[in-house]
Amino acid sequence: MKEEEVNRCQIQEWYPKFKSDSIKTMIHELPESFIEYLTDDNRPFLLPLSIDDADALPNRIHKPEEEEDFEVSEGSEDESEQPLPPPSFPELETKIKESIKALGGSVFPKLNWSAPKDAAWISPTGNLCCNSFSEVALLLRASDSLVHDLCRVYDSCSDKTVSRPPKFFLALRKWYSSLRPEMEFRCFVRNGILVGVSQREVTGFYPALVEKKDELITLIQRFFTNKVKQSFESESYTFDIYVTNDERVKLLDFNPWGAFTLPLLFTWEELEDKLNGEEDCLEFRLVESQCGVRPGLKTAVPYDYLDTSPGSGWDEFLRKADEQLAQQIRSPQAGA
């Protein structure tokens, strides 16, 4: 994988070209001071001071009687140790506030490559829906996965010359509460050929998808041929799409081939082996029964809480899930 292939997958690079076939998005360049705020682990976890006093978390109910337990006499602490003031980004907050309003009042955020999906647990709504700058900042600051964008995105590049891009961007994407997660799919393109399509939401079984499998693959192939193949410059990559109720296909994202991109219901070895001189090598994989569900690929707790080291409970669970999935795929009765 080359640096230029990673760079093409940044949303500020591909969105202008595919705007008419994607979700409405507004993109802002982030000041370096905000990037330092996101990456500074030496400071307390403080949300930026909001210009309109918005708070991303519910206010604690004030109970004066509880304060008696926390009274501190004068001179009992070093008065020179003053708490650090919360950061403030008034210009960025104003721009984000205007974009949220323009996008209907609710958005979900992402940086150049990634969205803070692992931080949804900390949101009052339990998802990535944001209605204010404070809620956007909360998700970005709490996310472990965004550290990849900020510090390690080029680690898998054979021609790595830098550790981070020169600029970071915040993409605010219109929030649709009616979107159905089972209608999102990841498409795998190898040497310009669509070789695989996987259900994106692999933590659930949706019988209706199995019934629509042939119809869906036709829609996806047509979209790739007519919209993506001649317009995206990389030879090998993945792209995520959403299929609407009226059978329109919306482009959601691009990701590099391999490395940090999840292969979902495939393995990268399987996808690499798809091209054996055969043009018609496309395979469409769905969770076709309850046995194929992959809950280990989506968790709503901080990454640090999960022990996936060899011998751990999660390691054993994922190993068994892989075995069951492989058996389901090999079985001629799969999905019956």
% pLDDT > 70, the chain:
77
Nearest to 132 by CA among 61, 59, 50: 50
Mind listing the pLDDT tens digit for each residue in 29-45? 999 999 999 999 887 88
Mind listing the pLDDT tens digit for each residue in 300-318? 444 444 455 555 555 555 5
What is the SS3 assignment for 144?
coil
What's the pLDDT band for 70 if we cut at 50, 70, 90? very low
Q: Do 190 and 170 fall within a single domain?
A: no
What's the pLDDT band for 319 if we cut at 50, 70, 90? low
Give a yes or no: residue 80 inside a domain.
no
Distances (CA, A) of 247 to 174, 198, 206, 207, 314: 20, 18, 17, 18, 38
Q: Do 26 and 94 fall within a single domain?
A: yes
90-102 vs 133-142: helix crossing angle, rounded to 10: 110
Domain that holds residue 40: 3-57+86-174
What pTM did the predictor assign?
Answer: 0.80
Give a yes or no: residue 305 inside a domain.
no
Give a yes or no: residue 186 inside a domain.
yes
Q: Do 109 and 130 fall within a single domain?
A: yes
Give a yes or no: residue 12 inside a domain.
yes
Q: How many CB atoms lie within 10 A of CB 68?
A: 7
Q: Do 155 and 207 fall within a single domain?
A: no
Give a yes or no: residue 315 inside a domain.
no
Strands annotated E in 107-259: 107-110, 169-174, 184-190, 193-199, 237-243, 249-256
Mind listing the pLDDT tens digit for each residue in 86-108? 889 999 999 999 999 999 999 99
Q: Could you give the number of structural domains in the chain?
A: 2
